Amino acid sequence: MKRVVLKPGRERSLLRRHPWIYSGAVASGDAGRGETVEVVSSTGETLGFGSFSPDSQIRVRMLSFGAASAPGEAYVASLVADAVKRRERRLAEGGTAACRLVHAEGDGLPGVVADWYAGWVVCQFTSAGAERWKRTVVDALAAALPGLKGVAERSDVEVRAREGLPVGGFSILSGGEPPDLVEISEGGCRYLVDVRHGHKTGFYLDQRLARAAVGAIAAGREVLNCFSYTGGFGIAAMRGGAASVVNVDASADALALASRNAALNECEKGMSFEEGDVFKYLRKCRDMGRSFDMIVLDPPKFAESKAQVMKAARGYKDINLLAMKLLRKGGVLATFSCSGAMTPELFQTILAEAAADARRDFAIVERTFQAEDHPASLAFPDGLYLKGYILAVR
Ligand code: SAH
């Protein structure tokens, strides 16, 4: 087996089980794309085994720590089986249940994402190592999931290019062809998921707890759902008794599906859809003197890396400040950041600054994180990428 030797002192993060080794930490060692390598310290101590990415800044992603034997097919299959077992309760709901089955580093499988949509699995393989283990992962999923109808892959993610992997489209890896739209259910709401063309694998499963939290306090409110995508928060709010929801998104396709979802949940009365840029829409509302009882802000990732955090901070402050000014007395802001590089502390500071500029006093009513089927390791804080604040105007 090929060896990757680290520079002196660079074993420290690995000893704390951080799963990534950057190219700058490597003293020597080369291997093929996705090949399993032994990682050793500058003094020759075996630190563990990982997958080599010759094209990426993240040169090695760890699969196992310590000096035990190199991880093989059986080990990778056992990680998949363990991950599925942790979702047993959700899967036991059967029918149209949906959840994430494998959450990359959070389940010990860097680069591997697999989502369950009512019997259909949609995967993404975003690192060289993940690509190398694809067959093993798919076979292990098939073995662990008795009700499985088929496994598909979405390889249309740009990060694959950084790993030297082809960026493609939708393909079937095992079993049958899913329908164009797969119906799932969540918290009493029904959603159609476009597994071929939708964002990520089709649905933002990570916001399940936040949608439930919003639904629980929506009764009687006039809601503005910004960055609505296919209507997730809006439908949860309507089902929770909201008086009305305006959904705003830049994507006409997302809004078309949001409208179908509204009909599916018999809440099209009261739901409206605005195609456009949220930054502009909020300003328009301000200029027109419009106000709301609840505003949801669930924007896409503004910061891809630590270097972009300051620029992202301005974007977050801008939309939060605008939204805070549009809220009526007693109103609620449900605001989120899914940038891993943006820490919860920094996000909260930005919110505090926005509130100060808006000259309004907010109480933190609830904090939300990604749902438990998107586990984050304590050793890998970047894995806790999604955070939310539910704030009430006082
Ligand atoms: N809240 C959604 C997920 C939001 S994903 C859910 O629960 O399912 C982010 C959405 O923001 C995407 O649908 C994308 O089309 C939209 N978007 C990105 N930039 C935008 C902008 N400047 N204005 C409006 N929508 C935008």
Identify the pLDDT of residue 313.
95
Binned at pLDDT 50, 70 and 90, residue 276 comes out as very high
**Strand partners for 122:** 115, 152
Identify the pLDDT of residue 182.
98
323-339 mean pLDDT: 97
Binned at pLDDT 50, 70 and 90, residue 90 comes out as very high
What are the residue ranges of CATH 2.30.130.10 in the chain? Answer: 3-65
Length of the chain: 394
**Percent of the chain beyond pLDDT 70?**
100
What are the residue ranges of CATH 3.30.750.80 in the chain? Answer: 73-182
Whether residue 382 is predicted with pLDDT greater than 90 in this model: the reply is no
CB 58 within 8 A of CB 50: no
Under DSSP, is residue 330 helix (H, G, I), strand (E, B) or coil? strand
Binned at pLDDT 50, 70 and 90, residue 358 comes out as very high
Cα gap 150→175, rounded to integer Å: 4
Identify the pLDDT of residue 91.
96
Given CATH 3.40.50.150, say whether it is the number of domain 204-393: yes
Burial status of residue 377 (CB atoms within 10 A of its CB: 0-12, 13-18, 19 or more): middle
Under DSSP, is residue 143 helix (H, G, I), strand (E, B) or coil? helix
Residue from 164, 275, 169, 168 nearest 228 by CA: 275
281 CB near ligand 1 (under 6 Å): no
Strand order in the sheet with 26-28: 20-22, 58-65, 46-52, 36-40, 3-6, 26-28
The per-residue pLDDT of the chain, averaged, comes to: 97
Say which CATH architecture domain 3-65 belongs to: Roll (2.30)
Active site positions, annotated: 338
CB 321 within 8 A of CB 313: no
Say which CATH architecture domain 73-182 belongs to: 2-Layer Sandwich (3.30)
- Closest ligand 1 atom to Cα of 211: 7
- Closest ligand 1 atom to Cα of 299: 9
73: how many CB neighbours lie within 10 A of its CB?
12
Residue 345 per-residue DSSP state = H
Whether residue 307 is predicted with pLDDT greater than 90 in this model: the reply is no
What pairing do the DSSP bridges indicate for beta strands 36-40 and 46-52? Answer: antiparallel
Q: Using the mean position of ligand 1's atoms as its centre, give its distance from the Cα of residue 299 in Å.
A: 5
236 CB near ligand 1 (under 6 Å): no
5-12 mean pLDDT: 97
| Mutate which of 227, 282, 339 for ligand 1 pocket (most atoms within 8 A of beta carbon) | 227
**Strand partners for 174:** 151
pTM > 0.85: yes or no: yes
| Mutate which of 193, 229, 283 for ligand 1 pocket (most atoms within 8 A of beta carbon) | 229
Q: What is the dihedral of CA 236, 239, 240, 246, to 10 degrees?
A: 60
Cα gap 186→304, rounded to integer Å: 29
What are the residue ranges of CATH 3.40.50.150 in the chain? Answer: 204-393
Residue, of 371 and 68, whose pLDDT is higher: 371
**Percent of the chain beyond pLDDT 90?**
95
Under DSSP, is residue 309 helix (H, G, I), strand (E, B) or coil? helix
Q: What CA–CA distances, in Å, run from 158 to 126, 153, 164, 306? A: 9, 14, 10, 19
Tokens 């990757």 identify what position?
A: 4
